[in-house]
Structure 1
């Protein structure tokens, strides 16, 4: 298949542009995109474990452990043992973390709004549906090769 007909190239280019824009957006808050993603989830799921946070953010538990260590060292999150499951650490935003998140989210959500503004509501729904179909096709192709 010629390179110009490979949809992966277009998907990757769009993803790279989005990530570059988000990196620039969250940088004034002193955050990386993975740190921003973790704080965003923590704002909605306070007390979540590191393993659960990793699953929601689609990263490995090891990668999330590094993100959480950096956020904890900077005072943006705090971790404490779960009251019943002593080996599980609950993670919560600190006030400093909430402030950083608010700055980063205002800037990052503007990028996502710019994308949404380019599409009608029907087009946004169609794009989500098409991307979901792409995900399924990728998973099926990967399984067939395994």
Structure 2
């Protein structure tokens, strides 16, 4: 069977390859800190949003609520986060970093920032701005195309 568009012309293939390379590199640099990419993302978002619910955190991290619940359970088992009932909404658990969680995040963040800086250094300021704008446009188009 011949397809109507060669793989080399499919932007999605190029974006996916880049995403896979980024995830593989971050996985490697986060391993010494004992965190997965998903756990690191959750800790990073929690650092800026203390008390956030699991559902809101899942949306911020771009994962499903069941996936986030698994991530949070693993972080809680390691005492990196605390989850306590919301003051008014008892069915909602507020999630916060513990001191151990902040230390793990700081340790992991050093490696992740090193990767981000290396990636950013491959571009001029103008190229970086253009890339961010182009990726934003990709996101907008794809969100409009979603059934």
TM-score bracket relative to the smaller structure: over 0.9
- Matched residues in 2 for 1:44 and 1:140: separation? 29
Is residue 74 of structure 2 the alignment partner of residue 66 of structure 1? no
Is residue 22 of structure 2 the alignment partner of residue 22 of structure 1? no
> Which residues of structure 1 form unaligned runs of 5+?
none
Counterpart position of 1:90 = 94
TM-score (normalizing by structure 2):
0.93
Match of 1:75 among 75, 79, 86: 79
Q: Which moved more, 1:114-123 or 1:15-24?
A: 114-123
Counterpart position of 2:16 = 12
- Matched residues in 2 for 1:59 and 1:51: separation? 10
Match of 2:56 among 52, 55, 59: 52
What's the CA shift for 1:6?
1.4
The alignment of Structure 1 onto Structure 2 pairs a total of residues equal to: 143
> Which residues of structure 2 form unaligned runs of 5+?
none
What's the CA shift for 1:120?
1.6
Q: Which moved more, 1:34-43 or 1:130-139?
A: 130-139
What's the CA shift for 1:20?
0.2
What's the CA shift for 1:140?
2.9
| RMSD (Å) for aligned C-alpha atoms | 1.0
- Matched residues in 1 for 2:146 and 2:93: separation? 34
